[in-house]
Amino acid sequence: MVLVAPSLLSADFSKLKDEITALEKAGADMIHLDIMDGHFVDDLTFGPAVVKSLRPHTKLPFDVHLMVDYPEHFILPFKDAGADIITVHAESTVHLDALLAKIKNLGLKAGVALNPATDENVIKYVIDKVDLVLVMSVNPGFGGQTFISSSVDKIARIKKLIKGHKILIEVDGGINPLSGGQCVSAGADVLVAGTAVFKGGEYKKNIESLR
């Protein structure tokens, strides 16, 4: 079964505790936390203190997506805040292998995110350290964008590339029941969705629609 990871970026920030509680009851599989620093991408979201404050209120895994410069500075703070998975952008570091090893050595699952223009073959050289590949199906930085259709073929190529390895393929950006279905058919395991989960406040119905 496909896993659904609601993006907290689309939640009501005035009541985040209530939002994650509602998402867990609605059947979400994990909580996707988009961390933006205003440098790697233009927007600025939240840091380890907010994540730590939310950790006691759900048993769902925290899927932390670092859209930041110098991600090596953020690994330990987010580990201490309660992250279960930390995903770093291949474009954000020149020491991807070392950074993934650092995440793994802390007992966390390690992910690599790829921007739309980034070749998937970058993961060939770190595949032994990767638990998750995050395919960005929009350009990162803000929600509500249109799904980039070429992402479907990219997912299929990644599926072949990781054959024989226990690696999840996650997709983030413009996900709805139609685009999500295309991604799952190509090999995706996890759908990150913001607008598609939170619209109308019908979280359970929306999550079931994505599945």
Edge-first strand listing for the sheet containing 132-136: 3-6, 190-193, 168-172, 132-136, 109-114, 85-89, 62-67, 31-36
Catalytic residue selected from 29, 131, 172, 189: 172
> Could you tell me which residues are beta bridge partners of residue 93?
none
Catalytic residue selected from 29, 34, 37, 63: 34
From the list 110, 146, 115, 107, the residue with the least C-alpha distance to 128 is: 110
Give the C-alpha separation, 202 to 195, whole Å: 11
Give the helix, strand, coil percentages of the chain, each rounded to 5.
Answer: 45, 20, 35
> Could you tell me which residues are beta bridge partners of residue 111?
87, 132
CB of 190 within 8 A of CB of 2? yes
From the list 177, 202, 194, the residue with the least C-alpha distance to 2 is: 177
CB of 38 within 8 A of CB of 44? yes
**Active-site annotation holds for 34:** yes
**Active-site annotation holds for 69:** no
Q: Which residues are catalytic?
A: 34, 172
